[in-house]
Amino acid sequence: MSFSTDTKAELSALPIKKKCCKRAYAAGLLFDADTDGESRALGFYQNLYTAQVAQKAIASVFGSNAVTFSPVVEGKGFVLAVSASEVAELISDMARYGVDAIVGFSCEECAGSFLRGLFIASGSLTSPERQYHLEFTLKNSDRAETLSAFLCDYASPPTVRRRDGSAGLIYKSSAKIEDFLSSVGAVQAYFALLNGKITREIRNDVNRSTNCMTKNIAKAVAASRAQIAALEALERSGECDKLSPELRETAQLRLLYPEIPLAELGARHCPPISKSGVNHRMARLMAIAEGIKKD
């Protein structure tokens, strides 16, 4: 099962005790439904499980006779027909006057219940180990503005992307997705998101550290090659014999150990010298070699 499916399963299993919250939950499940000429509501759901969740929730609010028949396959999803005229009016009025004005949230939990139903019916959530992406997909694109206004008041402003005959309301911020999951009571999904976020951050830190180490190694190799080339030029020109004992020792050790770091090279001197001491001597040797090259 996907992360999105797991989250919907968690939300659909949460108990709802208050009548006002049950009505808000049903409104969320029906938000993207259409009405027909027979005063029926037609809810479209992506899979049978979601349609059955909607059927049970709607029946608990509007009566068992409200749902005229079980979900039927239509295209790539399932359609649930609801015969109660009150439901058809609810859908039309939500689109026209706004969600909170019509549903009539009576307590602090009602908005969360509505968002819970909305996500189960129209939402999707990408695994946090891949990316942060929460989206509500509405086949009724005209209803996107109504939902966007509601989300601005009760959650945070989403990014709206209109497609052919549909619209997507999207969140890509991990903080906003965390707030949403917390507001709808998806505790398991919330902590899974946090764990995925930590995993991604650790992976990114490791990659950054590896890249930095690789760059440093490449710089050290390039510097070593330049030093060896300069010292070999000094040898060919006979200038090595004219060097001071200290510089001659450093030059000989670098030619003998071309790959070791400066700190280790300094430890091989007699007496040992510091990394900065080796670096200072190498700079002098490079300057001498550069002068010979110009001459």
Residue pair 34/41 in contact by the 8 Å Cβ criterion: yes
Please compute the mean of the pLDDT values over residues 53-77 and round it to a whole number: 77
Residue-averaged pLDDT of the chain? 84
The per-residue pLDDT for range 130-141, each reduced to its tens digit, is 888 999 999 877
Q: Which residue, chain included where needed, has tokens 């939990």?
A: 109
The per-residue pLDDT for range 76-126, each reduced to its tens digit, is 788 887 877 777 778 777 877 778 777 778 888 989 999 999 999 999 999
138 Cβ partners below 8 Å, 6+ apart? 31, 32, 122, 144, 147, 166, 167, 168, 169
If one compares 168 and 102, the residue with the highest pLDDT of the two is 168
Instruction: Give the number of residues written for the chain.
Output: 295
Count Cα atoms within 13 angstroms, Cβ side, for 128: 23
Q: Is 178 helix (H, G, I), strand (E, B) or coil?
A: helix
Residue pair 6/189 in contact by the 8 Å Cβ criterion: yes
Q: Say if residue 128's pLDDT is above 80.
A: yes
CA atoms of 245 and 113, how far apart (whole Å): 83
Q: Which two tokens stand for residue 217?
A: 């190694």
56 Cβ partners below 8 Å, 6+ apart? none
Asked which of 40-44, 72-76, 102-106, 209-213 is least confident by mean pLDDT, the reply is 72-76
pLDDT number for residue 10: 93
CA atoms of 198 and 237, how far apart (whole Å): 58
Determine which helix (DSSP H) or strand (DSSP E) holds 169, and give its type and residue range. Answer: strand 166-171
Domain boundaries, given as residue ranges, for the chain: 3-199, 209-294
The per-residue pLDDT for range 16-30, each reduced to its tens digit, is 999 999 989 998 998
Which pairs with CB-CB distance under 8 Å and at least 24 residues apart come from 223-229? 224/258, 224/259, 226/286, 227/254, 227/258, 227/282, 227/285, 227/286, 228/254, 228/255, 228/258
Q: Are strands 77-82 and 123-125 parallel, antiparallel or unpaired?
A: unpaired
Residue 4 has a CB neighbour count (10 Å cut-off) of 18
CA atoms of 165 and 22, how far apart (whole Å): 30
Q: Say if residue 169's pLDDT is above 90.
A: yes
Q: Say if residue 280's pLDDT is above 80.
A: yes
Count Cα atoms within 13 angstroms, Cβ side, for 39: 5
**Confidence category of residue 68, pLDDT binned at 50, 70, 90:** low
Q: Say if residue 260's pLDDT is above 90.
A: no
Determine which helix (DSSP H) or strand (DSSP E) holds 254, and give its type and residue range. Answer: helix 245-256
If one compares 139 and 207, the residue with the highest pLDDT of the two is 139
Residue pair 11/184 in contact by the 8 Å Cβ criterion: yes
Which CATH number, 3.10.28.10, 3.40.50.720, 1.25.40.10, 3.90.1640.10, labels domain 3-199? Answer: 3.10.28.10
CA atoms of 237 and 251, how far apart (whole Å): 14
Residue 93 has a CB neighbour count (10 Å cut-off) of 14
- Residue 186 CA, chain-centre distance (Å), reads 17
CA atoms of 166 and 189, how far apart (whole Å): 27
